[in-house]
Amino acid sequence: MTLLVTGGAGFIGSNFVLDWLKQSEEPVVTLDALTYAGNLENLQALHDDGRHTFVQGDICDRALVDRLLAEHRPRALVHFAAESHVDRSISGPGAFMRTNIEGTYTLLEATRAYWSALDDDAKREFRFHHVSTDEVYGTLRADDPPFAETNSYEPNSPYSASKAASDHLVRAWHHTYGLPVLTTNCSNNYGPYHFPEKLIPLMIVNALAGKPLPVYGDGQQIRDWLFVSDHCAGIRAVLAGGRLGETYNIGGWNEKANIDIVKTVCALLDELRPDPAGPYSRLITYVKDRPGHDRRYAIDARKIERELGWRPAETFETGIRKTVQWYLANPDWVARVQSGAYREWVQQQYDQAAQS
């Protein structure tokens, strides 16, 4: 009994692997290409843990995926590996098409060949769990109901379009070939090990460095925020009891405007690490909105609660405090992930927005 986890050195993937091995003796094989957002240091706590095997490699490498399936005989594959940053998808969409679409296709085909050769009992037990995003549904008006699993797909960025394509592939491999798949679409995650290009860790890191806190447009873009450990619990619930071929939305029931998130982070830092120069909110800087910026996301997570009994354990207030405390307690991790290439990209991205 083994899990194969793709993208397990990234933000959500590493939290999932760590949480899984806290609660289960079932071994995990992690496959990750260790691109800029994949960080083996996230899994450092498992360095001497015999239950965990790490393999550096690309999900588009069919021979490698075939070999891992044959050697480790997993009873499930949990697929996190993805390019996931909207801004990067706008400036360089090619990597998103390759990883999110071609990579998912490669995994599906390799898994189909492996699954087809299993005996009947193992076939019935096997699962391919695809982790996706609420961004595939597009944007909501202020008075629209939250996204349900039945919403039509209306992706608006190269990132969300590539994830929508991967969702459709997973669905098609189930309906055409009978592959036992599950799909989860989550809202915005936050928590430990979050790469500091995303809103919350970027605000924390910049504030502590006394740098501007860039806020797109008027800052009134609304997102539903989900603490990463709650997301991991939701995935475990779906993997254990989800109906084959079904999609489950996993959300935090926490709709917040971006500017309110930034002000909350500032207030927590004022409390936990006050700056003699004054309140961190003085660093808030409004920059030109990014192209095609979706106005509102919200997840209706009643299906997973009704069918599987899952609800988030964290409120936004408890989760964001834990997140800020983690970043304050782990400055070495933050310093090491901020490579020269990362710093140059962030500076270029937000300098361009500020000058536009």
- Global pTM reads 0.93
Q: How many C-alpha atoms does 215 have within 13 Å on its Cβ side?
A: 20
Strand (E) positions, the chain? 3-6, 28-32, 52-56, 76-79, 127-133, 181-186, 188-190, 213-216, 222-227, 247-250, 255-257, 284-287
Of 134, 255, 300, 314, catalytic: 134
Domains assigned to the chain: 3-190+227-252+297-313 (3.40.50.720)
Give the tens place of pLDDT for each residue, 315-348: 999 999 999 999 999 998 998 887 655 445 446 6
3 state DSSP class of 306 = helix
Give the tens place of pLDDT for each residue, 283-319: 999 999 988 899 999 999 999 999 999 999 999 999 9
The phi-psi region of residue 9 (left if phi > 0; otherwise alpha if psi is between -120 and 50; otherwise beta) is alpha
Contacts of 272 (CB under 8 A, 6+ apart): 324, 325, 328
Is 122 a residue whose pLDDT tops 70?
yes
Q: Is the dihedral of CA 130, 82, 43, 324 positive or negative?
A: negative
Q: Is 102 a catalytic residue?
A: no
Residue 346 has a pLDDT of: 47
> When comparing pLDDT for 216 and 38, which is higher?
216
Residue 85 has a pLDDT of: 82
Helices 316-329 and 258-272 pack at an angle, to 10 degrees, of 50
Between β-strands 222-227 and 213-216, what pairing exists: parallel, antiparallel or unpaired? Answer: unpaired
Rg (CA), the chain: 20
CA distances from 344 to 36, 78, 197, 222, 303 (A): 13, 33, 12, 28, 42
Q: Specify the residue for token string 């459709």.
A: 168
Between β-strands 222-227 and 255-257, what pairing exists: parallel, antiparallel or unpaired? Answer: antiparallel
Q: How many C-alpha atoms does 124 have within 13 Å on its Cβ side?
A: 2
256 CB neighbour count, 10 Å cutoff: 17
Give the tens place of pLDDT for each residue, 210-261: 999 999 999 999 999 999 999 999 999 999 999 999 999 999 999 999 999 9
* C-alpha dihedral (243, 247, 251, 257), degrees to nearest 10: -170
Of 135, 167, 230, 294, catalytic: 135
Give the tens place of pLDDT for each residue, 44-94: 999 999 999 999 999 999 999 999 999 999 999 999 999 988 888 999 999
Residue 352: band (very low, low, confident or very high) from pLDDT cuts 50, 70, 90? low
Residue 345 has a pLDDT of: 47
Q: Is 135 a catalytic residue?
A: yes
Give the tens place of pLDDT for each residue, 165-221: 999 999 999 999 999 999 999 999 999 999 888 999 999 999 999 999 999 999 999
Distance in angstroms (rounded) separating the CA atoms of residues 151 and 77: 26
Of 105, 114, 137, 159, catalytic: 159
238 near 304, Cβ under 8 Å? yes
Distance in angstroms (rounded) separating the CA atoms of residues 292 and 294: 6
> For the residues of 277-302, what is the DSSP string, one character each?
T--GGGGEEEEPPPTT---B--B--H
Return the structure tokens found at 154: 């209306």
Average pLDDT over residues 119-143: 97
Residue 38 has a pLDDT of: 84
Q: Is 159 a catalytic residue?
A: yes
Residue 96 has a pLDDT of: 96
